[in-house]
Structure 1
Amino acid sequence: MNRINVKKFGFAMGLTGALLYAGCMIVMATAGQEGSIAFFNSLLHGLDTTSIIRMDVPLWEATIGIIQTFIVAWLIGALIAAFYNAQLKRR
């Protein structure tokens, strides 16, 4: 079995998370509040997001959010790769 490069896999996961965050921003910007609520309600198996959808998100807050999402997803990806590689050593 091949080893996974921890940094590269972490980066791939971080970039994927950031792209999903950007996709969420695009949905909210184009669909409006009612469309966003309908979209996220269907995506989350009927969970009512009416009370948590906030449309007046400042640009600085969205920027911090996408950076935080990248960091958290990078850490998750790096951990997955590290755990995978550690499992290979045991065999």
Structure 2
Amino acid sequence: MYRLNVKKLGFAFGLTGAIIYLGCMIVMATTGQEGTITFFNSLLHGLDTSSIIRMDVPLLEVLMGIVQTFILWWLIGACIGGFYNAQIKTK
């Protein structure tokens, strides 16, 4: 069976997470607070996000969020790749 490259899979997951984070930033920048609340309420099956959405996020916090998201999703992807490879029977 085919073995996954753990580092590459981790990078793919990390980059995907960072792109989703950037998409969230674009939604917030283009739709305003009410549009953002409506978008995330719809996305989260009607969960009321009005009390947790804040629009005045400092730039340093945004940058740290992108880095943290990338690292978290890199680790998730690497774990999935490692677990997948561990299940493959070697001959």
Alignment partner, residue 18 of structure 2: 18
The one-letter amino acid of 2:61's match is E
CA distance in 2, matches of 1:78, 1:45: 30
Aligned pairs, number: 91
Which runs of structure 1 show a deviation greater than 3 angstroms over 4 or more consecutive aligned residues?
none
CA RMSD of aligned residues (A): 1.1
Alignment partner, residue 5 of structure 1: 5
The one-letter amino acid of 1:12's match is A
Q: Which runs of 5+ in 1 are unaligned?
A: none
Secondary structure of 1:89 counterpart: coil
Deviations, residues 16-69 of structure 1 (Å, cap 9, x unaligned): 000000000000000000000000000000000000000000111000000000
Compute the displacement of 1:90 (Å): 6.8
Q: TM-score, normalised by structure 2?
A: 0.97
The one-letter amino acid of 2:60's match is W
Asked whether 1:74 is paired with 2:37, we answer: no
CA distance in 2, matches of 1:3, 1:90: 10
Secondary structure of 1:64 counterpart: helix
Compute the displacement of 1:89 (Å): 3.1
Asked whether 1:35 is paired with 2:29, we answer: no
Q: TM-score, normalised by structure 1?
A: 0.97
Secondary structure of 2:89 counterpart: helix
Q: Which runs of 5+ in 2 are unaligned?
A: none
User: Share of identical aligned residues, percent?
Assistant: 74
Higher helix share: 1
